[in-house]
Amino acid sequence: MATAKELVSCQLSVVSCQLSVVSFQLSVFSCQLSVVSCQLSVVSCQLSVVSFQLSVFSFQFSVFSGQFSVVSFQFSVFSFQL
C-alpha cells in the first residue's frame, strides 16, 4: 500500500527500484536525481516541505523508518544505510 500527495515532484533515475509494504510521502517540493537507487521498506513515512536528494549510489533498507523535516538537503556519492 503506497500513498503519495505531492504538489511539486521531479525525479530522474537511471535505475530505481523500490519495494514497500507501507509507504507514506507528503511533499510540497521534492527533487531526486539518482543513478542507482534502491529502497526496501516495511514501514516508511516521510513528511517534507523542501527536500533535495542527489545520489550516485544509494541503498537503504529499513523496517521502521520515519522522517519529518521542514528543510532537508542530502548530497551523496556513495551512501549505504542498513
User: What are the extents of the domains in the chain?
Assistant: 1-76
d(CA 57, CA 42): 21
pLDDT digits (tens, 9 = 90+) for 15-70: 555 665 665 566 566 566 666 666 666 666 666 666 556 656 655 555 555 555 55
Give which of 73, 70, 75 is closest to 52, Cα–Cα.
73
| Per-residue model confidence (pLDDT) at position 38 | 62
What is the predicted pLDDT for the residue at 48?
A: 60
**Could you tell me which residues are beta bridge partners of residue 41?**
20
The rounded percent of the chain whose pLDDT value lies above 90 is 0
Instruction: Look up the pTM and report it.
Output: 0.31
